[in-house]
Chains A and B, each alone.
Chain A
Amino acid sequence: MSRFDEPDYYKKEELVQIQPKPPRTPWMETPVDFRPGTYIYPGKAKNLKVLDLPNPRDWAVTDVDWQLPEGWQKTILEGMADRLKRFRSFKLFMDICVRCGACADKCHFFIGSGDPKNMPVLRAELLRSVYRKDFTALGKVFGKLAGGRELTVDVLKEWFYYFYQCTECRRCSVFCPYGIDTAEITMMGRELLGLLGLYVNWVIEPVANCFRTGNHLGITPHGLADTLEFMTEDIEEATGIKIDVPINKKGAEILFFTPSGDYVAAPGIYTCMSYMLLFNELGVDYTWSTYASDGGNFGLFTSHEAMKRLNAKVYAEAKRLGVKWIMGGECGHMWRVVNQYMDTMNGPADFLEVPKSPVTGTVFENARSTKAVHIMEFMSDVIRHGKLKLDPSRNDHIRVTFHDSCNPARAMGILEEPRYVIRHACNHFYEMPENTIREQTFCCGGGAGLGTDENMEMRLRGGMPRGNAVRYVQERYGVNQLAAMCAIDRATLPTVCDYWAPGVQVTGISELVANATVFKGEKRRTHNLRLEPIPGMGAEDEESEADLVGAGAPGEGQGGMGHE
């Protein structure tokens, strides 16, 4: 090009001809670029061994040689044939896509990254192109001309990369005129990868732990008992109320379980404390189980078989303890497993009773078959019957918005209950824009086993649309808390907020309720369950700066908490 002081430079038209950057190679032939921060570490051999999974070995994603087993192409194609037979939806989804593109820009990973292979239609095409080549008459004869492609190591690497860039959130399916659910295609893709021992450790280690100990973190029975016991100390400090923790209590009315994320990390633990406080207040006869100690089920992100194996403990434990019914805590994917699959996978639970609230007498007809009730269903019913004394003004310093977690909201339809509960616990509730909530909610970017720190850059891309909507209500209404009824959200959204909407803290819904509840026999409530002083409750004067660690002090993010 000419220099700027030469007349030629100013030829307007030359500069107006803007062309989008053409890909160097057609999409099917562009190999993936494993950039640190965008992929998850592979499953360790020791974890595969615990689960008797094929080809256990230690390897790295960036290795050229992934140490694939002999005859791996055949394994994949046979696995595909088998699944096409077993799952009608899979066959249908492979055949009926008309490539209309309605789903193309609906995935949060595409929206945040701009990578076309994160368009759901192209994500599905990763499998479909192989399907077309090997399973359709046209593809067998015409190959690439019919849109088919050879199953090579590069294709496999691409599957691994992109099927772990899908959070199985199903947002795309809402927009597809045929209801094609790319989440299910991703599930199939991951199952097929698994046949070759290609797992990610963030998923397969929890699965292995869960298989041995009943929970993802490998917490032992006495470890769990200790953890819950420690929580009661904080509960007493904040409220003056001493509560008992019922563990493995035979003959209790309700078996309660929640994802293990609620045991070990802020802000999930405050949600966990809140469950116990509220059950205590309501006089609910429930029990924890140290065996069915995790409602979460990373088997859902592994294979149908793994999910079933991990879930089996729930009904088994309900039977052993002789409870009447089951209640689940604030979790997302757990609720999908419990509500959508548990009954057919490990039921029928004919030894249990149709759940009936001991507080209000309400019968949960919707849970007639699974015998499992979500805590938001239970709690909204309790509040509706006026069984909790709530003083929402205790939360007046909070301006809260609500994130619909993909699984309970879009997949399972729990939309109103959490809103009802929040409205009764808080005076300042603001919705995010309508195309970012309810059925159209945006994923946190860390679901389906993606929420690990080595995958941070990818998660931030995926979390961008959610973070963007949070920032909007932050700027517009002064929102300072984001409520979510999912343990993965409580683990991943603080990060999304710290990056895209700094200053917004994440909370569970039960925590809001517990902080607003006037408990029988409580002491003067100057501190919330995080042991932070509650503005307007007269604690500020007594507080020294040191007690404010982790209380959202400027520049602190959501990094720490006051227990060090």
Chain B
Amino acid sequence: MVERAVLLDLLKRRAEAIATRWYDAVLAEYPEQTYAAWKRESNRFANPVGHSLRAGTRTILDAVLEGADAEALRGAVTDIVRIRAVQQMSPSAAVGFVFRLKDAIRAELGDELRNGSFRDEMAEMEQRVDAVALAAFDVFAEQRELVSELRINELKRNIPWATGRTNRGVVEPG
């Protein structure tokens, strides 16, 4: 129990550094020119994806450290997953960014974790990250369904009394 509190405390104190490492790793999955451009621009309207990745990774990390429940985790991943669900990447890549958090924690706490300290506590922490990944998967699937629904909705916005009756009796040539 004591160990656990100590690790959590450590993580909380280093949260900013961990989040930055994580964000950087996620950003680095984009092509080189994109990485450079998004890293440079910090305005949230000029660079909404970069901003969402930065803010979103921090939000998720805080949720993990707080031991947030499933619903809260979903909320935390939504911003980022909504974006990645429509970018040119495979589903596994779209949600796989979550696992880079494990790397970021281990990279940041390298010295403290040396020689196997906090082994059980880290395992628990990593389980929480896995829960985030599952939440991300749920959100991803929902967003993809929404994309299909939006396609259908566009057709539905056509007004039946207009499309159905405007060209009565007229045969389209060709």
Contact = CB atoms under 8 A, between A and B. Distances in A.
Interface string B32-48: 11111110010111111
A461 interface: yes
A50 B168 CA distance: 22
Interface of A: 4-5, 7, 9-12, 15-16, 18-23, 33, 35, 37-38, 46, 49-50, 104-105, 110-116, 119, 212, 217-220, 223-224, 226-227, 230, 263-267, 269, 433, 435-436, 453-454, 456-457, 460-461, 464-465, 468-469, 472, 491, 494-495, 498-500, 557-561, 563-564
Contact of B115 (A7, A220, A227): A7
Chain A facing B: main interface SS: helix
B45 A433 contact: yes
B49 A499 contact: no
Contacts of B6: none
A220 B166 contact: yes
Interface string B76-93: 000000110011100000
A114 B151 contact: no
Nearest to B163: A264
Majority secondary structure of chain B interface residues (helix, strand, loop or mixed): helix
Interface residues of B, number: 66
Contact of B32 (A9, A20, A112, A227): A20
Given A435-B46, A453-B151, 10 more contacts: A16-B107, A18-B28, A19-B28, A112-B83, A112-B86, A230-B161, A456-B147, A460-B150, A559-B149, A560-B153
Given A18-B25, A218-B172, A464-B83, A111 B43 contact: no
Interface in B36-64: 36-38, 41, 43-49
A43 to B, nearest CB: 13
A436 to B, nearest CB: 5
A551 B172 CA distance: 34
Contacts of A436: 45
A230 B79 CA distance: 43
B106 A15 contact: yes
Interface in B84-122: 86-88, 103-104, 106-108, 110-111, 113-116, 119, 122
Nearest to B86: A460
25 contacts: A7-B116, A9-B106, A15-B104, A15-B107, A16-B21, A18-B28, A20-B27, A37-B147, A111-B48, A112-B86, A114-B30, A114-B87, A115-B34, A119-B37, A219-B166, A223-B165, A226-B165, A230-B162, A269-B162, A464-B83, A465-B48, A468-B48, A494-B153, A499-B86, A559-B149
Nearest to B35: A20
